[in-house]
């Protein structure tokens, strides 16, 4: 796994964050060192797939990047005659994701088929779905696009279907928000990111990743028609929410 040194070496530290080839090459390391609780979210996706994926249904990984959530679903699900559709709008991510999925195919050819597609998740049709995952993806969409997408996810889910939404969030209390940001930066320092890297990454994500409160996410889920929702995992300012149709 190639180590993330992007913001240690970039001369133009004020460039906005992009899911390009350079990021794709170090993405697994970037996620492990930057997102507290990331491994736990993947483990839970596998467990949830075992419980909620139903025979003959489709599963979606929206904003799949390198396919970590796709593989978690694939390895966890027990239902037969299913398929997984993994979608991302980054050509660099999709290229590497296809290679990773192909390697997983070789190790176990009997696993659920995966369709890896280059596309905009705001346009993808969702139907016959028993499980939809957005693992740290919604936050990169414009706020006005989020309501429409979550509504379409609800419409495309089967009754009893599951939506897994993991996001970076902000706190309603400014004091707590400042504390959570400081704790996240300390997490990065403990994972060997320098102050320069932390500062450059934060600047690069400004106006690219727009977080919301947990309350805003849950209100959106209710408005879309989900019967139940709740936070099952929180680590500093990162949460994972499950919603059931």
Each residue's pLDDT tens digit, 117-162: 999 999 999 999 999 999 999 999 998 899 999 999 999 999 999 9
Q: Does the pLDDT of residue 111 top 60, yes or no?
A: yes
CB of 29 closer than 8 Å to CB of 68: no
Q: Report which secondary-structure segment, H or E, holds 58.
A: strand 58-62
Environment class of residue 122 by beta-carbon count within 10 Å: exposed (0-12), middle (13-18) or buried (19+)? Answer: middle
Question: What pLDDT, on the 0 to 100 scale, is given for residue 7?
Answer: 84
Q: State residue 116's pLDDT score.
A: 97
CA 26 from centroid of its chain's CA atoms: 16
Phi/psi region, residue 158 (left: phi>0; alpha: psi -120 to 50; beta: rest), is beta
pLDDT higher than 60, residue 26: yes
Give the predicted TM-score (pTM) of the model: 0.93
- The C-alpha atoms of residue 138 and residue 157 are separated, in whole angstroms, by 17
Q: Does domain 38-170+208-244 match CATH 3.40.50.150?
A: yes
Over residues 107-119, the mean pLDDT reads 87
Query: Which three-class secondary structure state does DSSP give residue 163?
Result: strand
Q: What is residue 219's predicted lDDT score, i.e. its pLDDT?
A: 97
Residue-wise pLDDT tens digits, 192-241: 999 988 888 888 888 889 999 999 999 999 999 999 999 999 999 999 99
What is the average per-residue pLDDT within 68-82? 95
> What's the pLDDT tens digit per position in 34-47?
999 999 999 999 99
Stretch among 21-30, 59-68, 131-140, 171-180 having the lowest mean pLDDT: 21-30
Question: Residues of the chain with pLDDT > 70: what percent?
Answer: 96
Residue 12 has pLDDT above 60, yes or no: no
């Amino acid at each position: 796994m190639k180590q993330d040194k992007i913001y240690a070496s970039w001369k133009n530290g004020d460039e906005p964050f992009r899911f390009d080839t350079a990021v794709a090459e170090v993405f697994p390391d970037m996620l492990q060192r930057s997102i507290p609780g990331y491994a736990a979210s993947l483990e839970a996706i596998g467990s949830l797939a075992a419980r909620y994926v139903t025979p003959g249904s489709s599963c979606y990984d929206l904003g799949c990047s390198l396919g970590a959530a796709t593989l978690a679903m694939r390895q966890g699900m027990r239902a037969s005659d299913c398929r997984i559709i993994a979608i991302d709008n980054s050509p660099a991510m999709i290229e590497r994701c296809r290679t990773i999925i192909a390697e997983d195919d070789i190790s176990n050819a009997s696993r659920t088929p995966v369709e890896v597609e280059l596309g905009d998740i705001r346009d993808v049709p969702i139907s016959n779905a028993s499980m939809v995952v957005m693992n740290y993806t919604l936050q990169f969409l414009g706020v006005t696009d989020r309501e429409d997408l979550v509504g379409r996810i609800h419409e495309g889910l089967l009754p009893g279907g599951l939506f897994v939404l993991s996001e970076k969030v902000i706190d309603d209390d400014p004091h707590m928000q400042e504390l959570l940001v400081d704790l996240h930066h300390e997490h990065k320092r403990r994972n060997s990111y320098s102050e320069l890297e932390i500062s450059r990454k934060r600047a690069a994500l400004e106006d690219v990743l727009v977080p919301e409160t947990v309350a805003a996410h849950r209100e959106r889920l209710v408005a879309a028609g989900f019967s139940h929702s709740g936070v099952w995992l929180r680590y500093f300012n990162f949460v994972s929410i499950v919603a059931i149709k």
